[in-house]
Amino acid sequence: MRRVVVFGATSAIAAAVIARLAARGDRLHLVGRDPARLAAVASACSSNELTTAVADFTATDHAASLVAAAHSALGGAIDLVLIAHGDLGDQARSEHDYSEAERLLHINLLSVIALLVPLANLLARQGSGQIAVMSSVAGDRGRPRNYTYGAAKGALTIYLQGLRSRLYPHGVAVTTLKLGPVDTPMTTDHPKNALFTTPTRLAPAIVRAIDRHGRRGGEVYLPWYWRPILAIVRITPEPLFQRLRALSGR
């Protein structure tokens, strides 16, 4: 039985992952913003070893206390941390309203780092554990349709690269989950195509990736097909990239 804390437990993707972790008997501490949704996620779990806490992740001054409370709720040790919160926001608005751009950077980057700082120090002292963080393929290259969100996720991915190397000598694995688009409430207004997946289909792959990278960590594209797609997208010369509406269009 692993002791697991999930930050952002009320997201559709996290809820699907939590159900699988609970089914295999992991001890869970779930932290989410919406009390009603958090209660619903908890009630759907088959595990009796479960505690919850309500929190606003944008209140970064409280991040260290959230980590300390999770550590205490799980009996003084943490085996796995999953950070799953984020917000696509409004790209068009972020181009004209700095407050929206700032909000997206705060929720998708700074609020995550606020948790990672105390978590990294705690697990380094513990000498074991795994941190898994949901990032995005949007961070691999800036595109007009989501570059504010993508910039936050790209910076987060780089931060996790450094953290992974820092924590490796301490026996702590850092796993970056680079997700493609998922059909969730966050993407309700986005046109869907064949590359979209669902939380139900994605959750088993997330759990497998976390298990597979539990010792050394690493970066994982989910679903798998985003790795070859993004390999091409990253190396496409910018003059060509700008002419390909499938890549550079809105």
For 90-126, write each residue's pLDDT tens digit: 999 999 999 999 999 999 999 999 999 999 999 999 9
List the structure tokens of 112.
Answer: 């995550």
In this prediction the pTM is 0.94
Instruction: Locate the domains of the chain by residue range.
Output: 3-248
Confidence of residue 209 (pLDDT cuts 50, 70, 90): very high
Look at the block and give the residue holding tokens 């070893």: 49
> What pLDDT does 27 receive?
96
List the structure tokens of 201.
Answer: 């289909």
> What pLDDT does 13 receive?
97
Q: What contacts 17, CB < 8 A, 6 or more positions away?
A: 6, 82, 84, 203, 206, 207
When pLDDT is averaged across residues 209-219 and rounded to a whole number, the result is 94
In b/e form, how buried is each residue of 205-244, taking b as 16+ CB within 10 angstroms? bbbebbeebbeebebbbbeeebeeebeebeeeeeeebeee
When pLDDT is averaged across residues 4-8 and rounded to a whole number, the result is 98
Say if residue 224's pLDDT is above 70.
Answer: yes
Confidence of residue 47 (pLDDT cuts 50, 70, 90): low
List the structure tokens of 109.
Answer: 């980057």
Share of the chain above pLDDT 90, in %: 86
Residue type, 27: R
Q: What contacts 85, CB < 8 A, 6 or more positions away?
A: 7, 8, 11, 14, 33, 57, 107, 111, 112
List the structure tokens of 66.
Answer: 């959230």
Distance, CA of 91 to CA of 80 (rounded, Å): 33
Tell which CATH classification among 3.40.50.720, 1.10.260.40, 3.30.1380.10, 1.10.940.10 matches the domain 3-248. Answer: 3.40.50.720
Residue range 53-75, pLDDT digits in tens: 999 999 999 999 999 999 999 99
Q: What is the CA 143 to chain-centroid distance, rounded?
A: 20
Say if residue 46's pLDDT is above 90.
Answer: no
